[in-house]
A and B are shown apart, each in its own frame.
Chain A
C-alpha cells in the first residue's frame, strides 16, 4: 500500500481541516466585500457632497424694488411684458447691444426674466445654505434670515438650471453660466482626440506589428509606459514651451490669417491634452492589438496576405473595441485635467463662445477651480453645479464611446 495515504487527514481531522479552510476563505471574502463597500461609500459621499452644494436656500435682497418696473408679481409676467419692461428701462445703448448679440424677441422667457433680474432689479445675495441644512434646519434658517436680513427674501433654489447651462460667464454668481466652459471643454477634448487617436493607434500598430524586439524599441516601450505616469503639470510646461511659444505662428492661427490672438488658444490646449493622453492611448491600443489572437494573423498570412492587409482587414477591426475603450479613458482624463490648462493659459474670465481652434478659451475644470477660490458662498454653489455638469458631460461622452464600441463589436 502507498504509505503517503496515511499522511492525509481522515474522519474528524478532515472535517476540522475543511472547516479551517472555509473559515479563512470567508474572512477573505468579507475583506473583499468591505473593500467594495468602502469604495461605494466614498463615491456616494463625493456625489452627495457635490449635490449638497448645488441646491439649497438662498437669502437675497432686491437692490431695486420690483414694483418700480411692474405692478404684477415678477413670475406672473409673460414674454411680451418682460420685453416691454426691458425696452422701457434699459438705456438704449445697452438694449441695442443686447439686440445685436441676439435679437431680443428670439430669446426665451426665462432668459428675458434673468436679464430683468440681472440688469434692472439686481440681486444682492446675502447668504446660501447647503441642501442638507435647507431640509433639516429649515425653521432655524428662516428665523435667522428674518433676524439678520429683515429685507431679504428666502428661496429654495437649484443652482443648476437650464439658464446656468446656456449663459456665459458673469461676474455675478447668480447670473453666471457654464456655456463657454462646456464649449471650451468639448473643443479641447475634440482636438486632443483628433490629434492623439490616429497617432497613438499608429504608434501602437508599429510597436506591436512591425517593430522588432531590439534594444531601441524596448527603450521606446519603457518610455511610453513611464510617460503615462508623468504628472500632468509637466505636460503643461511642455505645452507652454512647444505649442504656446515655439509653435505660436501655427497655434495662434497667424499662419492662417488670424491676427488678433496669441498662442494661448484652444488649439494649444487641445494639443497639450493630446500629448498628455497619447501614452494612455498607445498603451491601450497595444493591449487591444495584442489581444487579437495570433491564429487570425496566421490565417490571413496563410492565404497570401501582406502584413499590411492582415493589419488593416483583421487586426485593426478586431482591436477597434479595445482602442475605443482606451479613448474613453483618454477623454475622461483630458476633460478633468486642470493643471496643464492653467500653465498653457486658459482664460479664467471669458464670456465669448469659442468660435474655432484659434479662440481664447476656458474649460469646465478651470471655471470650477476659479469659482471655488472665491470667498462668496454663492460661487461655491455654482462651482458645485458646474461639477455636476462636468460629471454629466463626462458620462455622456463615455456613453457615446461605449455605444460606438458596441456597434463596431460585431458578434462574430
Chain B
C-alpha cells in the first residue's frame, strides 16, 4: 500500500477529481490498478465511470472546460503533469470504445494506420497478422484484409478495434463498455479475448453488466454518487472482484450487486 512504485502497479490515482466547469463529475478517487489484471469499474448510470476511464488516457481533454486535479501516476509519472504530451499518453494507454468505431478503411489499414503514424519501422504485414491473431480475428478475416472494415459484423468490428489498439503495443488497454452494443455470443468472445489479453496487457473495463464484471475481472471498483447530494461520483469500494460480489464492505455495494438497488 505504501510503496508507490511497486512493480505490480500499472497505474494509480491519487486524490483524483475530474471537473466539467465547476461541476466535479468524479471526486476523490484513490485506486491502484495492478499489472496484467482485469480491473472492472461498475456502478449505476451517470456515476462517472466513463469519465474516470477517459481520464486515464486524457480523452477528456476534448471536452471543453474539463480539467483534473490530483494525480494519475503511470510508472510514477503524473499523466497530467506539466511536460506530459497527451498524444504520448494515448500511445501508451490504448482505448476501445463503447460502439465499434473502425476507420472507414480496409481491415488492413485499420491496423496499420495507428502503427504508421506512430513511426512503426518493423514488418507491417507481420504486425497486422499478430494483432489480428491477438484479437482472435485472424482466421475470420485473413482472406479479406483489403475489404472494408464496415463489412464486418459488430462483434468482429469490436475485435478489430481491439486489434487496432494492441497493434500500437500499449501498456494498458481501456475498454469503455466494449460489449454493450453486441449480442451475447460476440460478448462472450470479447470476454474470452480479455482473458487472453491480460497475459500481456493491463485491462481496465467499464461495464454496466455485473455478471460480466464478475466473470472477467480480477479487481472491481464500485462507483456511486456521493451521499452528500453533489451529483459527484466516487469509488466507494475497490477490492478483489470475489470480495465485492460475495462479501462487500459497503452496504451500497451489497445493495447494488445483489440487485436491490435502483
Which A residues are closer than 8 A to B by beta carbons?
Answer: 212-213, 293, 295-306, 309, 313-314, 318, 410-412
The smallest C-beta distance from A211 to any residue of chain B, in angstroms, reads 11
Contact B148 A412 (CB under 8 A): yes
The 3 closest A-B pairs by CB, nearest first: A303-B114, A304-B91, A412-B104
In the bound complex, residues from chain B placing their C-beta under 8 Å from that of A212 are: 64
Contact B103 A302 (CB under 8 A): no
Contact B90 A412 (CB under 8 A): no
Contact A301 B150 (CB under 8 A): no
In the bound complex, residues from chain A placing their C-beta under 8 Å from that of B96 are: 302
Which B residues are closer than 8 A to A by beta carbons?
Answer: 57, 59, 62, 64, 87-88, 90-91, 94-97, 99, 101-105, 113-114, 117-118, 148-150, 161, 164-165, 167-168
Contact A296 B97 (CB under 8 A): no
In the bound complex, residues from chain B placing their C-beta under 8 Å from that of A300 are: 103
Contact A304 B105 (CB under 8 A): no
Contact B95 A302 (CB under 8 A): yes
Contact A213 B87 (CB under 8 A): no
Nearest CB in chain B to that of A307: its residue: B87
Nearest CB in chain A to that of B90: its residue: A304
Distance A296 CA – B105 CA, assembled complex (angstroms): 11
Distance A301 CA – B113 CA, assembled complex (angstroms): 12
Distance A104 CA – B10 CA, assembled complex (angstroms): 87
Given contacts A298-B95, A299-B101, 5 further A-B contacts (CB under 8 A): A298-B97, A303-B91, A303-B113, A304-B114, A411-B148
With A296-B103, A412-B105 known as contacts, the answer to whether A302 contacts B148 (CB < 8 A) is: no
Contact B88 A304 (CB under 8 A): yes
Contact A306 B165 (CB under 8 A): no
In the bound complex, residues from chain B placing their C-beta under 8 Å from that of A301 are: 59, 62, 90
Count contacts between A and B, CB distance < 8 Å: 69
Nearest CB in chain B to that of A412: its residue: B104
Ordered by A's residue number, 5 sampled pairs between the chains whose C-beta atoms are within 8 Å are A302-B95, A303-B164, A303-B165, A304-B87, A306-B87
Distance A386 CA – B101 CA, assembled complex (angstroms): 51
Distance A300 CA – B117 CA, assembled complex (angstroms): 10
In the bound complex, residues from chain A placing their C-beta under 8 Å from that of B150 are: 412
Distance A410 CA – B106 CA, assembled complex (angstroms): 11
In the bound complex, residues from chain A placing their C-beta under 8 Å from that of B97 are: 295, 298-299, 302
The smallest C-beta distance from B169 to any residue of chain A, in angstroms, reads 10
Contact B101 A303 (CB under 8 A): no
Query: Which of B99, B104, B149, B165 is close to A302, meaning CB atoms less than 8 Å apart?
Result: B165
Distance A295 CA – B148 CA, assembled complex (angstroms): 17
Contact B99 A305 (CB under 8 A): no
**Interface of A (DSSP majority class):** helix
Contact B117 A302 (CB under 8 A): no
Query: Which of A299, A304, A314 is close to B161, meaning CB atoms less than 8 Å apart?
Result: A299
The smallest C-beta distance from B69 to any residue of chain A, in angstroms, reads 21
Query: Which of A297, A305, A306, A410 is close to B104, meaning CB atoms less than 8 Å apart?
Result: A410
In the bound complex, residues from chain A placing their C-beta under 8 Å from that of B94 are: 302-303
Distance A313 CA – B95 CA, assembled complex (angstroms): 19
Query: Which of A295, A297, A318, A411 is close to B99, meaning CB atoms less than 8 Å apart?
Result: A295
Contact B87 A305 (CB under 8 A): yes
Nearest CB in chain A to that of B85: its residue: A306
The smallest C-beta distance from A314 to any residue of chain B, in angstroms, reads 7
In the bound complex, residues from chain A placing their C-beta under 8 Å from that of B62 are: 297-298, 301
With A299-B161, A411-B148 known as contacts, the answer to whether A304 contacts B117 (CB < 8 A) is: yes
Contact A318 B101 (CB under 8 A): no
With A304-B118, A305-B87, A306-B87 known as contacts, the answer to whether A295 contacts B165 (CB < 8 A) is: no
Nearest CB in chain B to that of A295: its residue: B101
The smallest C-beta distance from B204 to any residue of chain A, in angstroms, reads 14
Query: Which of B88, B90, B104 is close to A303, meaning CB atoms less than 8 Å apart?
Result: B90
Distance A68 CA – B261 CA, assembled complex (angstroms): 110
In the bound complex, residues from chain A placing their C-beta under 8 Å from that of B88 are: 304
Distance A293 CA – B64 CA, assembled complex (angstroms): 18
In the bound complex, residues from chain A placing their C-beta under 8 Å from that of B99 are: 295
Contact B103 A314 (CB under 8 A): yes
In the bound complex, residues from chain B placing their C-beta under 8 Å from that of A295 are: 97, 99, 101
The smallest C-beta distance from A359 to any residue of chain B, in angstroms, reads 44
Nearest CB in chain A to that of B115: its residue: A303
Distance A81 CA – B95 CA, assembled complex (angstroms): 82
In the bound complex, residues from chain B placing their C-beta under 8 Å from that of A411 are: 148
Nearest CB in chain A to that of B118: its residue: A304
Query: Which of B57, B104, B165 is close to A296, meaning CB atoms less than 8 Å apart?
Result: B104
Distance A295 CA – B104 CA, assembled complex (angstroms): 11
In the bound complex, residues from chain B placing their C-beta under 8 Å from that of A412 are: 104-105, 148-150
Distance A293 CA – B103 CA, assembled complex (angstroms): 11
Distance A302 CA – B148 CA, assembled complex (angstroms): 20
Residue among B64, B90, B91 with the highest chain A CB neighbour number at 10 A: B90
Nearest CB in chain B to that of A298: its residue: B97
Distance A297 CA – B168 CA, assembled complex (angstroms): 17
Distance A124 CA – B170 CA, assembled complex (angstroms): 86
The smallest C-beta distance from B152 to any residue of chain A, in angstroms, reads 12
The smallest C-beta distance from A320 to any residue of chain B, in angstroms, reads 12
Distance A411 CA – B105 CA, assembled complex (angstroms): 10
In the bound complex, residues from chain A placing their C-beta under 8 Å from that of B104 are: 296, 318, 410, 412
Contact B101 A298 (CB under 8 A): yes
In the bound complex, residues from chain B placing their C-beta under 8 Å from that of A314 are: 103
Contact A302 B59 (CB under 8 A): yes
Nearest CB in chain B to that of A318: its residue: B104
Distance A297 CA – B97 CA, assembled complex (angstroms): 12
